[in-house]
A and B are shown apart, each in its own frame.
Chain A
Amino acid sequence: MDKQYYTPKDLKNFSNITEWNKELGDKFFDYYNSVFKEGHLSAREKSLIALAVSHVVHCPYCIDAYTKDSLQRGIEKEEMMEAVHVGAAIKSGAVLVHGVQMMNRHDQLSM
């Protein structure tokens, strides 16, 4: 059986989610498109943030989309990898900071 949970072609059908709930779907896409417009942050900076977050949330669709978006915006591969490391650092930091909770609990329970 070659059925997969993730299908690359699903990405281009993303907008189809409005078919089952137009109001909320439209609100989401309006919001989404507004977020990525040039603002206090440039669209280029937002693309790099999105690329890092895509990795952190393990979204293959987002990784495909924002790698391509980064290329289109002239972002270089070194910048892309640095952004991924920023995401990875926060993610691993988030794991490790819980170590303090572990240490506290350990000390509380130990003689």
Chain B
Amino acid sequence: MAKSLQARKSELSDQEMQLKILSGGAFETGELPTFKAQLSKHKIQTLRPKTFSILQLNIGYMCNQVCSHCHVDAGPDRKEMMTRKTMEECLNVMKEFTIETVDLTGGAPEMHPDFEWFVEQIRLTGVSEIIVRSNLTIILANKKYHQLPGFFAKHSVHVISSLPFYKKNKTDSQRGKGVFDTSITAIKMLNKVGYGQANSNLKLDLVYNPSGAFLPSDQVALERDFKKALKTDFDIDFNQLFTITNLPISRFLDYLIASENYEEYMQSLVDAFNPTAAEDVMCTNTLSVSWEGKIFDCDFNQMLGLKSAVKNPHISQLNQNELMQRELQLSQHCYGCTAGAGSSCQGSIA
């Protein structure tokens, strides 16, 4: 199995190096406009939050997979994990603030030893929706995870899972050998307990992200293709397909540079800039929390170390007024969320 950039001691595991690359090249020479300059051109001076309805918690970077596009640089060799103390601080925020959705991500969040306890505690806070971003293969990775579909159903967890394509070759090329077959088995297990079924409230959404240096196409058309192929070939069901653009950070940035696609990809992102999508990027309603309890405007900023612009950027120190008035932290990777129909953890925007 491949190793994370961090384990390989790649210079791209350094956040400063990634930010330097994102600010250099065509953005430094002025050949391409920086993200802030692009916003100004469209008379958007700054981006600020509109609501605070989604709390996205990255509870650890450990994962059973080492996907070639992973912006977290997750993998079995990553040991960072949220402590129970930080989880309790997150629970306090859920009780104090009016949060609609708690979105658990990682790594593979299910690998956290306190995962089930945490989901049960979140359910007690009264938040209306709990999302778990499951990579699917974790369900079959070890016997102790086989009961996860039943656990998710019991707590009405909204499961959002990556499946880059409805065919084996593209999925395995991005996520590792055997991932497609295991993912299909896992979806069948989720379908069996009611996920993705027409007469059920249990939601299973899939995430498509391109297997290469190109942008996703129309979400509706791709969903139609996915549903038809997965039903015909495997008799499996899901609710919605979310198309997500790969952002040029971490392992995907490494791939872009190594394959000499970086400049063309950034050009594609800039060309596809959509000011309507920019108005509604996910950082306008989401707050991202790291395993250490630090707060960021999104999971991508978390990976780049761009902390939210507040006095004490920690989950234990949240101040509603300060939070809502803060200026969102931007760099050139933000073009990934504003390209075409836009991109967010909930799929396209515009």
B-contacting residues of A (Cβ < 8 Å)? 12, 38, 42-44, 68-69, 71-74, 76
Give Cα distance in the complex from A95 to B77, angstroms. 60
How many residues on chain B are close to A (CB under 8 Å)?
A: 18
Residues of chain B contacted by A69 (CB below 8 angstroms)? 217
Contact A43 B222 (CB under 8 A): no
Min C-beta distance of B84 to chain A, whole Å: 42
Evaluate contact between A74 and B222: CB separation under 8 angstroms.
yes
Main secondary structure of the interface of B (DSSP, over half): loop
Q: Is the CB of B210 closer than 8 A to any CB of chain A?
A: yes
B336 to chain A, nearest CB (A): 15
- Other-chain residue from A42, A68, A76 in contact with B221 (beta carbon distance below 8 A): A42
B35 to chain A, nearest CB (A): 19
In the complex, number of A-B residue pairs with CB atoms less than 8 Å apart: 31
Find chain B residues with CB under 8 A from A38 CB: 221
Do A44 and B215 contact each other (CB < 8 Å), given the known contacts A12-B267, A12-B271, A71-B210? Answer: no
* Known A12-B267, A72-B217, A74-B217; 6 more pairs at CB < 8 Å: A12-B271, A38-B221, A43-B221, A68-B214, A72-B215, A74-B166
Distance of A105 Cα from B221 Cα, bound (Å): 52
Bound complex: CA of A71 vs CA of B211, how far in Å?
Answer: 9
- List, sorted by A's number, 14 A–B pairs whose CB atoms are closer than 8 Å: A12-B267, A12-B271, A43-B218, A43-B221, A44-B225, A69-B217, A71-B210, A72-B214, A73-B217, A73-B218, A73-B221, A74-B166, A74-B225, A76-B167
Q: Which residue of B lies closest to A76 (CB)?
A: B167
Chain A residues with CB below 8 A from B273, complex form: none
Those of B297-316 within 8 Å (CB) of chain A: none
Q: In the bound complex, what is the Cα–Cα distance between A68 and B214 (angstroms)?
A: 7
The 7 tightest CB contacts between A and B, nearest first, are: A72-B217, A73-B217, A71-B214, A72-B214, A68-B214, A74-B225, A74-B222
Q: Is B212 close to A, CB under 8 A? A: yes
In the complex, how many angstroms separate the beta carbon of A13 from the nearest chain B beta carbon? Answer: 11
Tell me the nearest residue of chain B to A9, going by C-beta.
Answer: B267
How far is it, in angstroms, between the C-alpha of A43 and the C-alpha of B216 when the chains are bound? 14
| Residue from B170, B212, B217 whose CB has the most chain A CB atoms within 10 Å | B217
Kindly report which residue of chain A lies nearest to residue B170, judged by CB atoms. Answer: A76
Q: Which parts of B109-155 form the interface with A (CB within 8 Å)?
A: none
Assess the B210–A72 pair: CB atoms within 8 A. Answer: yes
* Distance to closest chain B CB from A46 (angstroms): 11
Measured CA separation A44–B220 after assembly (Å): 12
